Structure 1
Amino acid sequence: MTLFNSKKAGMLFGSVVAASLAFATVAAEARDLRGWNIHVEDYPVSHGMEAFLKEVDEKTGGEISGKVFHAGVLGSQPDAIEQTRLGVIDFGVFSLGPMGQVVPEANVVSLPFIFKSVSQMYEVMDGEPGKALSKGLEAKGLVALGYYDAGARSFYTSAKAITEPADLTGMKIRVMNNDLFVGMVDSMGGNATPMAFAEVYQAIKTGVVDGAENNPPSYESTNHFEVAQFYSLTQHLIIPECLCMSKRTFDSLTPEQQAIVIEAGRNSTELQRKLWQEREAASMAKVAEGGVAVNEIADKAAFQAAMEPVYAQFLEQSPDLAGLVEMFKNAE
């Protein structure tokens, strides 16, 4: 082989190696994300998550793709939160209720009447209070990309409507197993009864409890409206859900990819909130057709005043969260 041919072959070999290295670099940067979701596929949260992943895939040119695993197939919510913190799961949508066991700041949004309305919750969570809560999440290994709507919880009862706190006196009301929610009902004179959600229908039907509380889609989809035909819109709990990414995953992305993820999270949140409102409207229409007496409560001042012992106990147990509680309470 001549010297010229040797140089030419060397140059060709070098080009092949360089191309191979470039391809390997691209391949190494490609990510296949795993997303956790407790809900079924046809649900506002699920559609929001799918839209998020699709946008990220498209805007990164396929560098970041993946799959959302619906219906809790990747494990329970507490387990999934921990796996996301560790980077085993890359992202998920988690209720801020159980999140409080890991992130103390999240407990603030589980306080009754901390939000004035669902629309106000949007503004608060998109504003400074939400950013303060997000810092608490990040300190525990979770990056908040958006706060989804999970509806407002209201009382539904079998015998009468709830128009003021005194109406709950002596009534047995099923609540989630959380001291805050037990205290909420007890402070209004009711008898809070923690119980598995799957048992509620039969418990109301047989009189074991006099009612329960939940958002419209849950009230409707479980057919609880068949046995509890008074729905009083107290909206006492408005607990958002967080579209969260593992900080380990987020930190491994390039700045350009991080910007795409943040934008996709914001767009996904707007879509999910719109879909949730549509779902709520459909649920309310269905329960009305089913004969439910829907009781609007324009002035919730008496209910809010009854929560003073709940707030006092919470702040006694978590004095370091007093500033955050005030920030949320005073938000417009």
Structure 2
Amino acid sequence: MKKRHVISGLMFSAVGLAMLSGCSSSKADSDDKIVLRYAYASNSQPVIDSMNEFGRLVEEKTDGKVEIEYFPDGQLGGETELIELTQTGGIDFTKVSGSALESFSKDYAIFSVPYIFDNEAHFFEVLEDKTIMDDVYHSTEELGFVGVTYYDSGQRSFYMTDGPVNTPEDLKGKKIRVMQSETAIKMVELLGGSPVPMGSSEVYTSLQSNLINGAENNEFVLHTAGHGGVAKYYSYDEHTRVPDIVIMNDEVKERLSEEQYDAVLEAAKESTEFEKKVFKKAVEEEKATATKEYGVVYNDVDNAPFQKAVQPLHDQFKNDKEYSELYKKIRSVADEMK
């Protein structure tokens, strides 16, 4: 499949939006081909490969009648800007962290609750449960976009510049970068650290200049993002498993035939299965490379003290009338798996 990528100099601007509107095809314009626009921020290679696999599958399943055009590597902005572009129809698809969707739908905040998932198996069971996820995906429908599938983004743990984290005590007084998520901020506060919300592009220089003492993320920040060069201690407390979410402008359905729309949804789900396989393999490769190139040291953690420290967040979500039903559904899946 021919995947078209725009020039790297394209910026999020009026000119850029004009270019977007000019390069799109619609069902009304042409009976031969419909071009759907997919923009994304910087990502690890397995996620990029999976988004490209989605495009390949769409073209295959529609006999070339629908094509995905890519705007990669933050050319049109960061995750918030890309969500807004999807919302307004400036683009048709993007892939963002579930945390970035919190300000658009309260339902996505549940994924940032530390230890809401017991383990990886529990995470996958919930994300594959239509009775849970369909409501989450469609919680933004009135805003003009919906979720269509998820990608595994692994577990998130702390990594530091000045030594490993073994207990919450090791975070006392430490400045820790977090995503711009109220739940993540509260988590670090409960663990004794000082949360510093900032965009991902600022983390490396902030670690290097000692503006922050550490951060939390999956293993792909170590070599792919280069953070292992300044923060060599990665500690597996595994506090969260926040999925990536592929979202789609709601008007895409109007531009496609019923068969084409079903093919797009099917391709999205199949790209998820592809991503789960390549992601796991790539994590091990990332760890090995970070160790070899930067001397990153990994340590396992007894997460029981961490779970105890963040229990107030669980109580908050469990007892909040807006979140309690979704919280209990997710926890009941864990009970059923025992």
Q: Percent identity?
A: 31
Q: Does 1:146 align with 2:156?
A: no
- Listed one character per residue, the Cα deviations across residues 144-183 of structure 1 (whole Å, up to 9, x for unaligned) are 3210112221111233322222222222222223322221
Alignment of 1:182-261 (within 5 A): 182-261=185-264
Given that residues 38 and 94 in structure 2 are in contact (C-alpha distance below 8 angstroms), is that contact kept between their aligned partners in structure 1? yes
Counterpart for residue 110 of structure 2: 108
Q: CA deviation at 1:29?
A: 6.8
Q: Which moved more, 1:80-89 or 1:47-56?
A: 80-89
- Deviation, structure 1 residue 247: 1.6
**Counterparts of 1:29 and 1:272 in 2: how far apart (Å)?**
30
Contact 1:143 1:250 in 2 (8 A): no
Query: What residue number does 1:291 align with?
Result: 295
In structure 1, the partner of 2:123 is 121
Structure 2 unpaired stretches of 5+: 1-26
Report what 2:61 is aligned to. 59
Q: Deviations over 1:184-236 (max 9, x none)?
A: 11111222233444443344344443222111011222332232222111111
Cα 1:202/1:29, change in 2 over 3 Å:
closer
| Pair 1:330 & 2:337 matched | no
Note closer, same or farther for the CA distance 1:261–1:294 as it changes in structure 2 (3 Å cut): same
**2:41 is paired with a residue of what secondary structure?**
coil
Instruction: Report the CA distance shift for 1:30/1:197 in structure 2 as closer, same or farther (over 3 A).
Output: closer
Partner of 2:178: 175
* Between structures 1 and 2, the one with greater helix share: 1
CA–CA distance in structure 1, aligned partners of residues 100 and 284 of structure 2: 27
The CA distance in 1 between the partners of 2:120 and 2:141, in whole Å, is: 25
- CA drift of 1:125 comes to 0.7
Question: Of the candidates 169, 186, 196, which is equivalent to residue 166 of structure 1?
Answer: 169
**What's 1:19 paired with?**
none
**Separation of aligned partners in 1, 2:137 and 2:221:** 27
Query: Are 1:103 and 1:140, in contact at CA under 8 Å, matched by a contact in 2?
Result: no
The 3-state SS of whatever aligns with 2:222 is helix
Instruction: Identify the residue that residue 36 of structure 1 maps to in structure 2.
Output: 39
SS in 2 for 1:109: helix
What residue number does 2:11 align with? Answer: none
Residue in 1 aligned with 2:19?
Answer: none
Once residues 25 and 200 of structure 1 are traced to their aligned partners in structure 2, the CA distance between those partners, rounded to angstroms, is: 45
1:115/1:140 CA distance change after superposition, 3 Å: farther
- Aligned AA for 2:63? G
Question: Counterparts of 2:209 and 2:256 in 1: how far apart (Å)?
Answer: 54
| Counterpart code for 1:307 | V
Match of 2:72 in 1: 70
- Aligned pair count reads 306
Structural RMSD (CA): 2.5
In 2: Cα distance, 1:47 partner to 1:158 partner? 31
Please report how far the alpha carbon of residue 85 of structure 1 lies from its aligned counterpart in structure 2 after TM superposition: 2.5
Gaps of 5+ in 1: 1-23
CA 1:272/1:204 → structure 2, altered by over 3 Å: closer, same or farther? Answer: same
Deviates more, 1:194-203 or 1:176-185: 194-203
Q: Which amino acid aligns with 2:299?
A: N
- Cα separation, partners in 2 of 1:174 and 1:77, compared to 1, 3 Å: closer
**Cα offset, 1:26, TM superposition:** 9.8
| CA displacement at 1:253 relative to structure 2 | 2.3
CA shift, 1:141, in A, is 3.0
Cα 1:75–1:190 change in 2 (3 A) is closer
TM-score normalized with structure 2 length? 0.82
Counterpart of 2:93, as a letter, is F
**Once the two structures are superposed, what CA deviation does each residue of 1:37-86 show, in whole Å capped at 9, x if it has no partner?**
1126x722222122112211122122211311111223332232223233
**Corresponding residue for 1:12?**
none
Change beyond 3 A, Cα 1:78–1:158? closer
CA 1:82/1:209 → structure 2, altered by over 3 Å: closer, same or farther?
closer
What does residue 136 of structure 1 align with? 139
Counterpart for residue 273 of structure 2? 270
Structure 1-normalised TM-score? 0.83
Amino acid at match of 2:300: E
Write the distance in 2 (CA, Å) between the matches of 1:140 and 1:147.
19
* SS of aligned partner of 1:319: coil
